[in-house]
Amino acid sequence: MGELAIELKGIDKSFGLVHANKDINLKVRKGTIHGIIGENGAGKSTLMSILYGFYQADRGEILVDGRPIDIRDPNTAISAGIGMVHQHFMLVENFTVLENVMLGAEESWILNAGITKARSELKRLEKEYALEVDPDAVIEELPVGLQQRVEILKALYRKADILILDEPTGVLTPAEADHLFRILGQLKAQGKTVILITHKLREIMAITDEVSVMRRGEMVATRQTNKTSVEELAELMVGRRVLLRVEKGEARPGAVKLSVKDLTVRDSRGVTMVDDVSFDLRAGEIVGIAGVAGNGQSELLEAIAGIRRAVAGSVELNGRAIDVTGHADPAELRQRGLAHVPEDRHHVGLVLKFEESENAILGYHDDPKYRKGLLLDIDAIRADAEDNIRKYDIRPPNARLKTANFSGGNQQKIVLAREMERDPDVLIIGQPTRGVDVGAIEFIHRRIIEMRDQGKAVLLVSVELDEIRALSDRILVMFAGRVVGEREPDASEGEIGLLMAGVEGPKEAAQ
């Protein structure tokens, strides 16, 4: 099998009544890229958090390079040669690259001496691992792909031989993702060990040597990547066969339901995030907006939904104007047939301390069917919530459970059920499957197509280019706040990827 970098034996972890990891055994060979996949709530993040010292196991043993080690905190993990690149970067945005790399590892009370040494070491690491980035650049001025490189450099600067990467391509363009894979290949060639957590099965097949599958807190299988398939891995993850492609018929676009003209939106700093954007959305079609996160998609959806004020332009819903530059009322827009699934379910879509049934009526609590005189009809609210739980396979099936106790994928289903079941004319969705496992993705995609086929107009924003291409009838590409192109869904990934990067290249032949 080869020498082991990591071995986990009998790892067991519970949080109250939730048994997150059940007697987990895992072996990761040195100098390999090892994938870990599983449904939301399968226990992947808990297991890696135990390895990195965020949590301590209730039972079990961790071996690093064949030696047992008690990892009580991240500092212990770092000392053992383990580094972690988090899905949400742990960088100080107004610090430079060099300052972020040094932070917490200064090595000397004489700062200038430490800076000189760090600069020299950073230059060596950049050259050795093809991780070039300006050491004096300020983090907030760097694109996300370069910020991710800084996170990797931080770990390497701390002498990490084992790197854990959590959903590393979620914020990258296809070209940036390809470059990351080249970096990971270089790390492997230099003898580093990489543990990759991702829900993207194609990435697993493209880059890993071995892959371990978790389901409901247990380790159910480990496969050599070249001896398995996407179909087998999906079935192992979910426990049943999964449809991995989106099946849909031809769209039958009808009347214009949403019309956006010359819309301009600025953020709280006064920076223009949506720059003179215009498009129409028709009944019975899905229009996808492709783009790297941070190019104005979020602000566009918020302006249309009435939760962010525009500085110019106009929006019409069902032929009637929305006061986007004044005081658009989200509650009124809901009554007029607009439903909104926000990108950030934690901060905008849900109140995590509320019960599932309470979140299931957020924004719709004035509906007469939920009222009993001046009071809320709790029985009616819970009955509706339980109906949605059955329809959307929300787990656990408990309308009284605090929403914080559901996995990310099930939290997403709560939001989707709330908005989709209102029979809207226009549905705007931000990142419908962010952090969602393959089984839930299949369900969500099928439900979006059903909405389209019922004559609903769907505006879809996603950083997942495969998702945009699979679901959309038309694709608008945003870069730096502007719509820089419109493409058919059969346009190649390369062509759309160039537009996402702000490059208007020649059109490639449709695939």
pLDDT in tens, 129-184: 878 889 999 998 887 778 888 989 999 998 899 999 987 876 676 677 888 888 89
* pLDDT at res. 281: 98
**pLDDT exceeds 60 at position 110:** no
Q: Work out the mean pLDDT of the chain and round it to a whole number.
A: 89
Residue 411 corresponds to which tokens in the numbers above?
A: 């939290």
- pLDDT, position 203: 85
pLDDT of residue 344: 84
Which residues lie below 8 Å from residue 205, measured CB to CB, with a gap of 6+? Answer: 225, 229, 230
Tens digits of residue pLDDT in 29-50: 999 999 999 877 788 888 999 9
Q: Which phi-psi region, left, alpha or beta, contains residue 16 (left: φ > 0; alpha: ψ -120 to 50)?
A: left
Task: Characterize the bridge pairing of strands 457-462 and 285-290.
Answer: parallel
Phi, then psi, of 488 in degrees rounded to 5: -80, 155
pTM of the model: 0.70
Q: Which domains does the chain have, with CATH numbers?
A: 4-238 (3.40.50.300), 245-337+424-511 (3.40.50.300), 351-411 (no CATH)
Phi-psi region of 472 (alpha: psi -120 to 50; beta: other; left: phi over 0): beta
Q: Would you state the pLDDT for residue 86?
A: 79
Determine which of 35-49, 233-247, 384-398, 422-436 has the lowest per-residue pLDDT on average: 233-247
- How many angstroms separate the Cα of 63 from the Cα of each of 8, 145, 197, 259? 6, 32, 20, 59
Contact 237, 43 (CB under 8 A): no
In sequence order, what E strands does 311-368 have? 312-317, 320-322, 338-341
